Amino acid sequence: MTPIQALGYVGLEVSDLDKWSQFAADLLGLQPVPRADGAVDLRMDAYATRLRLTQGTEDDIDYVGWEVRDAGALALLKTRLVHHGVRVSEGTAADAANRYVTGLICFDDPEGLRSEAYFGPLQRTDDPFVSSRGVSFKTGRGGLGHVVLVTKDMAAQEAFYTDILGFRVSDYIHTEVVPGKPLDLTFMRCNARHHSIALAHLPLKKKLQHLMIEVRSVDDVGRALYRCMDAGQHISLTLGRHSNDDMLSFYPLSPSGFDIEYGWAGLEVDDDTWHVLRHDTNSAWGHRYQRPPRPAKSEEGASSPVMALSKERQSAG
Ligand code: FE
């Protein structure tokens, strides 16, 4: 059993903070809260922060925050990591304050993603979350959504997340979206949400393939889709329903070049009756890949994950 309860927060390093804040607020319906240090927190519920945008050149995931129940669970997780030879550092009081949590530890996953585990996240009940688009996000015990990580060594990553962090595999997708180019995905959960993390074997430089956030109404998916279309925001995958977690979703391309999955009605797993499944397709219907617009002449030749994806035709679940 994992001491990890949920995907609590995610840090993103972005090159265009203003464009990202606008994308998050106007199209996704998140609430940007600028910080004194120049970063921007994106709220989606009572938590003080769920996503944090920091200025940088990577345009990729910076860190991931896993929530545990309490100080005892955090100590247990630390012991477990150390026992398996993982280097763990204790977060300072300043680190905890920075993340709006009560205590945290820091470690890297086998492919170098900065990972944090924490307890006691600050709740801003006196300053309720307000979406300028009237969106209500599904978070709670299921956490903020899911991340899909570009993975080189699927077996090593799966072993780390299951054997050490205690995630359970929900299912696998082995598909071939381009003939002769297999795409392997592994989906893992730490709560009722079908997956909080998935691994995707893709030839991309970025660590993050996509980040999923879930809304409480199908109308919120429809409205967001049309906001994106009206704004000319590129949509990497059209509206569709996934084969494994039943998520009805579409994938707008973020200003950082990775996708956001904007979904509704994701499957909740009953641990007592669930068994691991295997799928040979990503989607029951839809999720048609759309090539991004051609870059301007000056940008041609620049390393873009999107261009790599257009060759591989991404459609990770
Ligand atoms: Fe997804």
Please report, for the domain that includes residue 41, its CATH number.
3.10.180.10
293 confidence band (pLDDT: 50, 70, 90): confident
Q: What is the pLDDT of residue 28?
A: 98
- At residue 177, the pLDDT reads 65
Measured in angstroms, how far is the CA atom of residue 293 from the centroid of ligand 1?
Answer: 22
The pLDDT value recorded for residue 1 is 61
The Å distance, Cα 297 to ligand 1 centre, comes to 32
**Token pair recorded at residue 1:** 């059993």
Classify the phi-psi angles of 59: left when phi > 0, otherwise alpha if psi is within -120 to 50, otherwise beta.
Answer: left
- What pTM was computed for the model? 0.93
Q: Is the pLDDT assigned to residue 296 strictly greater than 90? A: no
Beta-carbon contacts of residue 101 (< 8 Å; ≥ 6 apart): 65, 118, 119, 120, 121, 122
Question: Burial level of 215, CB count in 10 A (0-12/13-18/19+)?
Answer: buried
Work out the mean pLDDT of the chain and round it to a whole number. 93
Tell me which DSSP letter residue 292 carries: P
Domain total of the chain? 1
Q: How confident is the model at residue 6 (pLDDT cuts 50, 70, 90)?
A: very high
Report the percentage of the chain scoring pLDDT > 90: 87
Q: What would the mean pLDDT of 51-66 be, rounded to a whole number?
A: 98
pLDDT at 181 over 80: no
- Centre of ligand 1 to C-alpha 250, Å, is 10
Count Cβ atoms below 10 Å from residue 310 Cβ, excluding itself: 15
pLDDT value for 182? 86
Residue 170 belongs to some domain of the structure: yes
In the reported structure, the alpha carbon of residue 87 is separated from the centroid of ligand 1 by a whole-number distance in angstroms of 29
Distance 261 CA to ligand 1 centre (A): 6
Distance 289 CA to ligand 1 centre (A): 14
State mean pLDDT over 7-12: 98
Q: Is the dihedral of CA 256, 9, 24, 189 positive or negative?
A: positive
Centre of ligand 1 from the C-alpha of residue 146, in Å: 7
User: pLDDT at position 312, please?
Assistant: 45
CB 17 within 8 A of CB 25: no
Asked, for residue 190, whether it belongs to a domain, the answer is: yes
Say if residues 60 and 13 touch (Cβ distance below 8 Å). Answer: yes
Residue 305 lies in a domain: no
Is residue 310, in this structure, part of any structural domain at all?
Answer: no
Helices (H), the chain: 17-22, 71-83, 93-99, 154-159, 218-231, 305-312
Which among 157, 154, 137 has a CA at the least distance from the CA of 145? 137
How many angstroms is it from 21 CA to the middle of ligand 1?
22
Q: What is the pLDDT of residue 301?
A: 43
Q: What confidence tier does 178 reach under pLDDT thresholds 50, 70, 90? A: low
CA of 131 to the centre of ligand 1 (A): 22
Residue 314 resides in a domain: no
Does the residue 282 lie in any domain? yes
11 CA distance to ligand 1 centroid (A)? 18
Distance 133 CA to ligand 1 centre (A): 22
pLDDT recorded at residue 306: 37
- Ligand 1 midpoint to CA 36 (Å): 32
What is the distance in A from the centroid of ligand 1 to the CA of 73?
28
CA–CA gap between residue 120 and residue 291 (Å, rounded): 42
Q: What sign has the CA pseudo-torsion 239, 265, 247, 254?
A: positive
At 88-142, the pLDDT tens digits run 999 999 999 999 999 999 999 999 999 999 999 999 999 999 999 999 999 999 9
Distance 44 CA to ligand 1 centre (A): 18
Residue 173 CA to ligand 1 centre (angstroms):
12
Model pLDDT, residue 176: 76
Residue 285 confidence (pLDDT): 97
Q: Six-digit token pair at 81?
A: 């990591």
Tell me how far the alpha carbon of residue 211 lies from the centroid of ligand 1, in angstroms.
7
Domain extent at residue 40:
4-286
Distance 267 CA to ligand 1 centre (A): 12
Q: Could you read off the pLDDT of 217-254 as tens digits, one per residue?
A: 999 999 999 999 999 999 999 999 999 999 999 999 99
Residue 298: pLDDT over 60 = no
In the block, tokens 């979350």 appear at 129
Measure the CA–CA gap between 31 and 49, rounded to whole angstroms: 10
Residue 317 lies in a domain: no
Q: Check residue 302 and give its pLDDT.
A: 40
Residue 295 lies in a domain: no
Is residue 31 scored above 70 in pLDDT? yes
Distance 89 CA to ligand 1 centre (A): 30
